[in-house]
A and B are shown apart, each in its own frame.
Chain A
Amino acid sequence: MAETGKPRAGLINAREHGILLAVLLFWAVCAATNGMFRDLSTYSSILRESSFVGVAAIGMTFCIISGDFDLSVGSMLSLLGIAVVAMVGKTGLFLGTLAVTLLGALCGTFNGLLVAGLRIPAFIATLAMYYIYRALAYIVTNGNPVQFQEPWFTEVGNGSLAGVPTPFVFFLVLVAAGTFLLRKTPFGRSILAIGNSARASQISGIRIARVRVFIFALVGAFTGIAAMLISSRMWSANSGMKIGYEFDVIAAVVLGGTSLAGGKGSLVNTLFASIFFASLNTAMNMFHVNSFMQRVVIGIVLLFAFSLSGVRAFISERLRLKRERALET
């Protein structure tokens, strides 16, 4: 009868850490069936790849917790990647990263103003920006790829720090910072509150419009850092890069258990979900799954992730009915 909403005690339980269990299980199955999954370098490469989606997924987690979406991150990534490649030689790594983060925040602020200022539903406004940023990226480069001349810049995306892939170090630090922001600051609590009930938050004095603009600015800022990492990894950037990136990012957030209805989410689970997708991609390549089939598999995993909360609600509803019936008789 002690069926409360609280998670059960213990270090690991299925609801809170389901995605971590899924990653471990997936790795175990792969290691059992494919020799390359018994090699440590495979895991190092998975962690590296997971960071390129995961860093942008941190910003998206804030956005989805607050009940919104940003579909423009893929196009923004292309535009920001071009910007960072063009300037990194002159500015150096630190200033270049700072500049592209701010530039991303600027793009994000623009998205936020459309959503919170003009009150255009987020996914529609950002769908329009998806086309606009991509077109801008094409226009500034004339459709040609841009490259940088500084070999040291490739070290960020391709190198390692004390054996850990450098992008993953960025990823871990940013997840820690993001978790602090979400759990320990008034701003983080406002995000959670808006996601739970925008109306109640407004009544309790939260300045919703301002918080939402700031959330979109954060999405842009994290996309800027991801753009820096990816351009460094690819040695270049272009206006056609990473089409469909927004789906990967949203998929990682949702698979990490962040509720699409808003109000709930965890950056640590977003991290594990990013690792899960990177593992899935690596495994599909190792097992030579046709690249078109890979899209279908990812679509189905997504559908499964989206329906989890629905299935969970369905089961608990059934259990409740059963209990009520049992009480009646």
Chain B
Amino acid sequence: MLGRIWEDYFIYLVAAVTLAVFGLLTPNILSAANVVNLLTNAATVAIAAAGMTFAITGGGFDLSIGSTLALTTCILGKLVPRMGVGAAFAVALAVGAVLGTLNGLIITKFKIQTFVATLSTLIIYRGLALIYTEGRDATLYANLGIKVFTSGDIAGLPVPVLLMAMVFLVALGVYRLTPFGVRVRSIGSNLAASRISGIPVDQTIIAIFVITAVTTVISGTLLTSQLLTGNGRVGQGFELEAITATILGGTSLTGGKGNVLGTLVAALLLTIIANGLNLLGLPDQYQRLAKGLIFIAALALDSLGRALRHRRT
């Protein structure tokens, strides 16, 4: 019992404590403007992490999302000037769905572990992004329509925050209320048993990887809107951030048990930490070091949670 509560809620505690500590160190972090800024920054990682939550719950990983993110910025950078924001976004979503399906097909038909399959497509997709832009920047100076994704608002609510809320509502609904959510959990806890009991395992896995790719395209669109440029080199290590948020949020690394809301809180926590370190004036490389250490600490806590639960049962 204690183990379960620890696993499910420790992230809320950690987030609250962190916010309080940074609030004392740099009161600016709690100003209204900075809170909006925080939420906007969190949205990019959080949305992709919502997709990653399904992948990890299903017992896999998607390491290729950093490259999918880069390809998204390239597609938007190239196509927005030609066909406008709406159509370019639709193309990016379609490409994302194709890349996700490809990941899923490679995993299910060639029978390769998700980890190594997406490690290969990580290299390939980034190569495609670089080929597409010939390694150059595709800048969007004159096409500020894309700006709507970061600075637009609907009834006073910023668009990125609304998008994040929407993605998480849908993710939560799909995870808790649909047969698909049940299948993902079942595959994650026991693949062989799921197959025997008639669950369409291959289809479910392909769908999972479409979800990770499509959520990443949405994240990539927010990022493009912030950077106002498309570049094949952005987003290296993005997969690690999304995985960190997912694991930190209480989704079990061994599969079968996810926590969609936990992912959201963890993504916010990571952003608070990055933002706080920034406000405190810590150089970039020290921030990366801090992120790596926080990642290790989160994983150690995950082990601890599992050990506690095993002792109780």
Contacts and interface: CB of A to CB of B under 8 A. Distances in A.
Contact of B131 (A123, A254, A296): A296
A310 interface: yes
A234 B126 CA distance: 26
A76 interface: no
Interface stretch (A35-43, A213-221, A298-306): A298-306
Contact of B123 (A129, A260, A302): A302
Interface of B: 106, 110-113, 115-117, 119-124, 126-128, 130-131, 134-135, 232, 237, 240, 243, 247, 253, 285-286, 288-289, 291-293, 295-296, 299-300, 302-303
Given A114-B296, A310-B111, A134 B127 contact: no
Nearest to A139: B285
Interface string A124-144: 110111011011101100010
A187 B126 CA distance: 40
Interface of A: 69, 114, 118-121, 123-125, 127-129, 131-132, 134-136, 138-139, 143, 244, 247, 250, 254, 260, 290, 292-296, 298-300, 302-303, 306-307, 310-311, 313-314
Contacts of A303: 106, 110, 112, 117, 120-121, 124
Given A118-B300, A120-B299, A247 B286 contact: no
Contact of A139 (B120, B243, B286): B286
A186 B274 CA distance: 48
Contacts of B292: 128-129, 131-132, 135
Given A121-B253, A292-B131, A134 B299 contact: no
B303 A307 contact: no
B124 A300 contact: yes
A311 B288 CA distance: 40
Contact of B288 (A124, A135, A290): A135
B286 A135 contact: yes
A131 B240 contact: yes
A283 B127 CA distance: 18
The winner among B237, B291, B299 for most chain A CB atoms within 10 A is B299
A125 B299 contact: yes
A244 B247 CA distance: 24
B253 A307 contact: no
A69 B117 CA distance: 14
Given A114-B296, A125-B296, A306-B116, A299 B127 contact: yes
Contacts of A300: 120, 124
B120 A118 contact: no
B120 A260 contact: no
The 6 closest A-B pairs by CB, nearest first: A299-B124, A310-B111, A295-B127, A299-B123, A296-B127, A307-B110
A128 B116 contact: no
Contacts of A293: 127, 131
A306 B112 contact: yes
Given A128-B296, A132-B292, A120 B303 contact: yes
A290 B131 CA distance: 9
Contact of B295 (A69, A128, A254): A128
7 contacts: A119-B303, A124-B247, A132-B296, A143-B285, A244-B123, A303-B124, A306-B116
B263 to A, nearest CB: 16
B111 A307 contact: yes
A303 B232 CA distance: 21
A186 to B, nearest CB: 29
Given A254-B116, A290-B131, A292-B131, 4 more contacts: A128-B292, A129-B296, A131-B291, A292-B127
Contacts of A123: 115
B280 to A, nearest CB: 17
Contacts of A314: 111
A313 B110 CA distance: 10
Contacts of B119: 247, 250, 302
Nearest to A261: B113
Contacts of A311: 110
B132 to A, nearest CB: 9
